[in-house]
Structure formats: structure tokens, C-alpha cells
């Protein structure tokens, strides 16, 4: 036994020494180039998708490429803007609903923060409107200023993150790793990415790894499951290598916006873009694009779309540019509520995926959308939004031993058949939130029968999910009052973690495809070396690459953050995983 331990640890030390030799000569910069027509004063920019990538592309085009706002057109098939960041309710007696909660690491999210620094705060914009949008107005705060101020004044400090059977509080600072687990983690960080293509995590890690406290906390923050791709796990292990010692408490590691991403970021950004003259076409579903009839170049010549059901077409001229959000993790989402379970949509009715499929059939080198849509059972999960007007918030705080709602971030019921997590939020969570309301969220990733509700989670109403949550907490006496004072919405999303499915290097297209003259892809189904999908900063960086490359902006793309280059992080992590 001792010999095996020494062998594994000795191998780990050798790997670490090798790492410094490799990383000392590595580069984190990437060059992007394209042959494109010149940008003119009359160039039109057509952006498909009003998610974070589309909004960032518009802001970057205005500020860095000096494109007039009136020349930018954003198409969104939904009535509401924001893509995956969409959120609704919480005011005027409405039940809150959203697609999920988000944490941010200030070191990793450099492209995101660069974008936030472009946009004046909501309060600044209201003042600017009062003054008639006077160009001499001095902005007091940007969204990034607000982001940093709130995060530093509202640190996470979780006292209880892992809960076992019978409400047992588990020491979440004890990672529970074996020597094999430690070796596998270090080896993965150093592994060539090519060796991870089309491999699942459970083909690399031992079964024990997926029972460790580190795994439960890692998967709850990032949304990983053991059947997801080893490629993305490797990138995350490298990108977030520096957070390992703080992942248990999240202190000094995780930041958040004051409100939802929609209220804190999307709404102010849309306001600012509208004052710049950007046109938003909501209810417009782009169904197809035409290409110039040659494979020697990729030139979009036309855009076909349905404007609230009416078929229309745009002729894309020389010197125009097209940016498309290909695929969508929130496509075909279906709702449920307190009394109704959501259904699962499998027909790709939204158009986010069928548009990409059509483009990939017409032109080589535009990726393989089927790699991300062929296994809904491995990419779906539900987000549950809870609007409470009763004792639930106080009970959760008392249970978790936190005084302030939101400090916990997440409470993980590690033995739940649904792999159930409850997310707490700093309150108020939406702008102008009703004073008697507390908003919480929950996520379930697995579909076995519950401990209390003997049904698969996917077949449960919001009330039944709330019953299961009460059981996991031990709030049985309080359950009737909790059920009476809570409303629940459920969002079933078949593709929400599809970016994590096993893939090759060619399944996601480059932001600017080879031989593209006027086309770029933006969002989380593009390929950006060294970067991690499922992060807002990924969307922002894709937009930056697209604008800088297509429009010929002579500025450096935000470089990748690679903490594995830092010797101190290696020392800290060795200490943390022992």
C-alpha cells in the first residue's frame, strides 16, 4: 500500500516538474486573420442573437471599430432579449423565472469585464436621459465598477455546502481525494488536449473521484456530469487551477452582480445600445443564409428570416458583415410551474440549431452541430425558480448557519437521487423586487425517483420539487406553510450543457472560419483555444475576435488567462489536495 502511494505521489512530482519546463516556453496569445472587404461608413452589421455575445459584438463595433449604431441590426427570435441571461418576474406580484445563476472569477473573466467597462451604469444612463444624452456627461460608474463594488462588499462565505443523509452536514473543506484522484487531476492539467477528444470524464477518472466532496462542489459550480467531455474538464482544470484552495468557501474567488445578469447587465446594455441607434428586431427568427456559390471563400449574400411569422429576406451587400450565434444552450426550453411539470421538446423547433445545420451542409469547415444535439439525455437539466413570501429563507439561513441570504451560494444534497442543489442569492435579486419576496433557485441533474416524492424529477410539478427540497432540509413540520407561501417556475432545457459533450477539435467552428470574407460565429459553440465554454467571458471574447478580425480593428484580443504558469498556484494546490 505504502509503495503504491509513494509511486503515485512520485509520479505527480515528476509531472509538476515537467509542467514548469513545458509552461516556461508556452504562449497564451493567438492570432486571427481573415480576408475581408473594407469597412465603410455605409457597412451594415447583422447580428443573429441578442445574447451576451451579440450585445458585446455591437458595443465593440461601436467603440473600437467606430461603426455608427444605426448600421447595426440585432435579430432575436424571442420576444425578450438576453438569450441565456433572460429573466422575468419578481415584481408586481409576479413569480420569478430564469435560466440559471452565475458566478464570476475576476481573474478569469477578463473579456467579460472589458465589455462591462464599456457600458455606463443603469443610474448613469437614467441621468444621461434626463440631460438629453449630452455628450459632455461624465460617467460616474460603469457596469464593471458596479460589479466590483458589489462583489467586494458581498463576499461568499459558505458555512454549509454539502448535506448528506438525514441532514448530515459534511465537512466541505475535506476534498476526500484518494492518491489516484490527486495523480489523475495533475496528469489531466498537463495532458495534451488532443488526447482528450471524444472521451468522457468517466473514461479517465476512477469511479471514486465522482464520489468525492471536491467533485460535488466542482460540478455544482460549473454544471459538469461524469458523462461530459474530458476536453472541457481539462480546460476548466487549467483555467480555474488557482481557485482550488478556495473552492469550498468561495471566499475571495467568486464574484456576482448585484441583481440577475439580466437586470445588472443585459437591460443596461440594451438601453445604451438603443441610445446609440442600434436596431433590435425581436420576434424575428433567422431560418437560413445564402452563400456565394463557391467553396473558395465563405461569403454570405442573403439572410432569410420570419418577422413574427412573415417571411422576409435581406440582401447582404459588399462591405456588409454577418455575425451569427450558432446553436443555443437554451433552445427549445419548455416551462413548468407550481402545478404543472414541464415537457421535453426534442424537435429543434426554435431554429437555433437548424440554422447552423443548414449552414454546415452548404459550406465545409463550419463545424458539426450534431455533436451537441444527439444526446439530450446527457445535456439537459432543469432550473427551478422559487418565489417565497414565507419562512423558507429564514429556515435556509438557520440551517446553513449563515446570517445573510446569498452567502451560501449553493447547498448540495450529495445523496439526493435527483442530484439536487439549492442556490441562494443576495437579496434583492431583481431590480425593484417586491419587499416581501425572497428568490431562490434549484437545479437537478439526474432523473431517478426522489427520496420523498417517488417520481422522476422531470415528471414533477413545482410543488412536488419543493416538497423534495423540504425533505432534504428536514423542514417537514414547516412544509405546509412553505408550500402555501411559495410559487415555483421550472425551465426544462434539453441542450443546456451540450457544450460539455465529448467532441473533437473540429466540431465547433472557428469564430472566423477559414476563407471567410464577411461571416463570423459568436457565442459558446465556437472554438477559442485555451478558453472555457459556459462562461460569459467566452461569449464576450468570441464577439471581440469577430469584430477585430472582420472589421480590421488594430487591437489585441484579450489574452487567455492561464494560472498554471504560476509556481505559487502549484504550491498552494499541492497543499490543498493533500
| Model confidence band, residue 28 (pLDDT cutoffs 50, 70, 90) | very low
| Model confidence band, residue 468 (pLDDT cutoffs 50, 70, 90) | very high
pLDDT higher at 245 or 541: 541
- In the DSSP assignment, the letter for residue 260 is -
237's grid cell = 482544470
pLDDT score for 136: 78
402's grid cell = 449563515
pLDDT score for 456: 93
- In the DSSP assignment, the letter for residue 236 is H
Mapping DSSP to helix (H, G, I), strand (E, B) and coil, where does residue 182 land? helix
Q: How confident is the model over 384-389, as a mean pLDDT?
A: 97
pLDDT at position 26 over 60: no
| Beta-carbon count within 10 A of 427 CB | 16
pLDDT score for 329: 94
pLDDT at position 22 over 50: no
Give the β-pairing of 97-98 and 87-88: antiparallel
Q: How confident is the model over 535-545, as a mean pLDDT?
A: 97
560's grid cell = 487567455
Tell me, yes or no, whether 101 lies in a domain. no
pLDDT score for 21: 38
Distance CA 537, CA 113 (A): 8
Q: How confident is the model over 508-515, as a mean pLDDT?
A: 96
Distance CA 51, CA 178 (A): 41
Residues 6+ apart with CB under 8 A from 73: 44, 45, 46, 47, 278, 279, 281
Percent of the chain at pLDDT > 70 equals 94
| Model confidence band, residue 473 (pLDDT cutoffs 50, 70, 90) | very high
Distance CA 294, CA 253 (A): 49
Supply the DSSP string of 410-466, one letter for each residue.
EEEETT-TT-EEEE---S--STT--TT-EEEEEEE---SBPSSS-SBGGG--HHHHH
Percent of the chain at pLDDT > 90 equals 77
231's grid cell = 476536453
Mapping DSSP to helix (H, G, I), strand (E, B) and coil, where does residue 324 land? strand
Over the stretch 184-217, which tens digit does the pLDDT of each residue have? 999 999 999 999 999 999 999 999 999 999 999 9
pLDDT at position 2 over 70: no
The DSSP element (H or E) to which 368 belongs, if any, is: none
Burial 247-274 (b: 16+ CB within 10 A, else e): bbbbeebbbbbbbbbbbbbbbbbbbbbe
Tell me, yes or no, whether 401 lies in a domain. yes
pLDDT at position 32 over 60: no
| Sign of the torsion formed by the C-alpha atoms of 94, 99, 103 and 105 | negative
This prediction's pTM: 0.93
pLDDT score for 46: 98
Backbone phi, then psi, for 420, in 5-degree steps?
Answer: -95, 135
Supply the DSSP string of 477-500, one letter for each residue.
TTHHHHHHTEEEEEEEETTTTGGG
Tell me, yes or no, whether 90 lies in a domain. no
| Model confidence band, residue 401 (pLDDT cutoffs 50, 70, 90) | very high
Q: How confident is the model over 387-407, as a mean pLDDT?
A: 95
Tell me, yes or no, whether 47 lies in a domain. no
Q: How many domains does the chain have?
A: 1
CB-count burial class (<10 Å; 0-12, 13-18, 19+) for 136: exposed
Distance CA 109, CA 262 (A): 17
Over the stretch 316-340, which tens digit does the pLDDT of each residue have? 999 999 999 999 999 999 999 999 9
pLDDT score for 5: 44
257's grid cell = 452582480
pLDDT at position 145 over 90: yes
| Three-state DSSP string of 88-115 | ECCCCCCCCEECCCCCECCCCCHHHHHH
Tell me, yes or no, whether 455 lies in a domain. yes
Distance CA 17, CA 262 (A): 44
Q: How confident is the model over 537-558, as a mean pLDDT?
A: 97
247's grid cell = 473552492
pLDDT score for 248: 86
Residues 6+ apart with CB under 8 A from 353: 327, 328, 331, 369, 373, 495
Give me the chain's average pLDDT, please.
Answer: 91
Q: How confident is the model over 444-458, as a mean pLDDT?
A: 90
pLDDT score for 446: 80
Give the CATH number of the domain where residue 442 resides.
3.30.9.80
pLDDT at position 472 over 70: yes
492's grid cell = 426544462
Tell me, yes or no, whether 17 lies in a domain. no
Distance CA 113, CA 342 (A): 35
| Model confidence band, residue 31 (pLDDT cutoffs 50, 70, 90) | very low
Mapping DSSP to helix (H, G, I), strand (E, B) and coil, where does residue 228 land? coil
The domain of 453 spans: 113-173+332-343+380-494
State CA 3 to chain mean position distance.
43
Supply the DSSP string of 128-142, one letter for each residue.
HHHTTS-TTPPPS-B
Q: Among 249-253, 420-424, 461-465, 545-549, where is mean pLDDT lowest?
A: 249-253
Distance CA 287, CA 289 (A): 7
Tell me, yes or no, whether 79 lies in a domain. no
pLDDT score for 60: 98
pLDDT score for 15: 47
Q: Among 7-11, 145-149, 230-234, 531-535, where is mean pLDDT lowest?
A: 7-11
pLDDT at position 410 over 50: yes
Q: Are the CB atoms for 386 and 466 separated by under 8 Å? A: yes
Tell me, yes or no, whether 450 lies in a domain. yes
State CA 85 to chain mean position distance.
9
58's grid cell = 455591437
Over the stretch 253-274, which tens digit does the pLDDT of each residue have? 889 999 999 999 999 999 999 9
Over the stretch 100-123, which tens digit does the pLDDT of each residue have? 888 899 999 999 999 999 999 999
pLDDT higher at 47 or 573: 47
Amino acid at each position: 500500500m505504502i509503495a503504491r502511494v509513494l509511486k503515485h505521489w512520485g509520479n505527480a512530482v515528476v509531472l509538476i516538474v515537467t509542467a514548469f519546463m513545458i509552461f516556461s516556453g508556452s504562449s497564451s496569445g493567438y492570432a486571427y486573420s481573415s480576408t475581408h472587404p473594407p469597412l465603410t461608413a455605409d457597412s451594415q452589421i447583422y447580428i443573429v442573437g441578442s445574447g451576451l455575445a451579440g450585445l458585446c459584438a455591437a458595443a465593440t463595433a461601436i467603440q473600437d471599430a467606430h461603426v455608427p449604431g444605426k448600421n447595426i441590426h440585432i435579430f432575436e427570435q424571442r420576444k425578450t432579449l438576453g438569450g441565456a441571461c433572460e429573466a422575468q418576474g419578481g415584481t408586481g406580484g409576479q413569480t420569478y423565472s430564469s435560466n440559471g445563476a452565475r458566478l464570476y472569477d475576476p481573474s478569469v473573466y477578463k473579456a467579460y469585464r472589458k465589455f462591462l467597462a464599456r457600458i455606463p451604469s443603469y443610474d448613469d444612463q437614467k441621468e444621461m436621459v434626463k440631460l438629453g444624452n449630452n455628450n459632455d456627461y461624465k460617467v460616474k460608474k460603469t457596469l464593471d465598477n458596479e460589479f466590483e463594488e458589489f462583489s467586494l462588499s458581498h463576499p461568499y462565505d459558505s458555512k454549509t455546502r454539502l448535506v448528506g443523509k438525514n441532514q448530515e452536514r459534511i465537512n466541505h473543506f475535506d476534498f476526500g481525494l484518494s492518491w489516484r484522484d490527486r495523480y489523475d487531476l495533475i496528469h489531466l492539467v498537463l495532458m495534451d488536449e488532443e488526447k482528450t477528444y471524444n472521451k468522457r470524464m468517466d473514461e479517465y477518472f476512477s469511479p471514486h473521484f465522482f464520489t468525492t466532496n471536491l467533485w460535488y462542489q466542482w460540478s455544482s459550480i460549473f454544471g459538469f456530469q461524469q458523462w461530459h467531455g474530458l476536453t472541457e474538464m481539462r480546460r476548466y482544470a487549467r483555467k480555474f487551477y488557482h481557485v482550488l484552495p478556495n473552492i469550498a468557501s468561495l471566499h475571495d474567488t467568486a464574484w456576482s452582480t448585484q441583481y440577475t445578469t439580466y437586470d445588472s447587465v443585459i437591460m443596461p446594455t440594451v438601453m445604451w445600445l438603443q441610445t446609440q441607434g442600434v436596431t433590435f428586431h425581436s420576434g424575428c427568427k433567422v431560418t437560413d443564409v445564402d452563400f456565394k456559390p463557391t467553396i473558395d471563400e465563405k461569403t454570405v449574400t442573403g439572410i432569410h428570416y420570419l418577422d413574427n411569422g412573415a417571411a422576409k429576406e435581406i440582401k447582404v451587400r459588399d462591405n456588409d458583415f454577418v455575425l451569427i450565434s450558432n446553436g443555443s444552450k437554451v433552445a427549445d426550453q419548455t416551462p413548468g410551474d407550481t402545478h404543472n411539470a414541464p415537457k421535453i421538446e426534442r424537435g429543434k423547433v426554435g431554429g437555433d440549431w437548424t440554422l447552423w445545420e443548414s449552414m454546415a451542409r452548404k459550406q465545409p469547415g463550419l463545424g458539426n452541430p450534431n455533436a451537441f444535439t444527439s444526446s439530450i439525455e446527457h445535456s439537459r437539466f432543469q432550473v427551478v425558480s422559487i418565489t417565497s413570501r414565507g419562512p423558507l429563507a429564514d429556515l435556509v439561513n438557520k440551517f446553513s448557519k449563515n446570517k445573510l441570504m446569498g452567502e451560501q451560494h449553493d447547498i448540495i444534497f450529495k445523496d439526493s437521487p435527483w442530484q439536487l442543489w439549492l442556490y441562494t442569492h443576495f437579496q434583492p435579486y431583481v431590480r425593484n423586487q417586491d419587499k416581501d419576496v425572497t428568490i431562490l433557485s434549484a437545479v437537478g441533474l439526474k432523473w431517478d425517483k426522489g427520496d420523498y416524492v417517488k417520481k422522476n424529477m422531470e415528471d414533477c410539478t413545482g410543488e412536488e420539487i419543493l416538497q423534495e427540497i423540504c425533505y432534504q432540509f428536514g423542514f417537514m413540520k414547516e412544509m405546509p406553510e412553505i408550500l402555501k407561501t411559495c410559487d415555483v417556475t421550472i425551465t426544462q432545457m434539453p441542450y443546456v450543457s451540450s457544450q460539455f459533450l465529448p467532441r473533437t477539435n473540429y466540431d465547433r467552428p472557428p469564430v472566423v472560419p477559414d476563407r471567410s470574407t464577411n461571416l463570423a460565429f459568436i457565442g459558446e459553440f465556437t472554438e477559442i483555444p485555451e478558453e472555457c465554454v459556459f462562461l460569459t467571458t467566452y461569449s464576450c471574447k468570441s464577439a471581440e475576435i469577430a469584430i477585430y478580425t472582420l472589421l480590421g480593428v488594430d487591437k489585441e484580443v484579450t489574452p487567455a488567462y492561464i494560472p498554471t504558469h504560476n509556481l505559487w498556484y502549484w504550491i498552494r494546490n499541492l497543499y490543498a489536495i493533500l
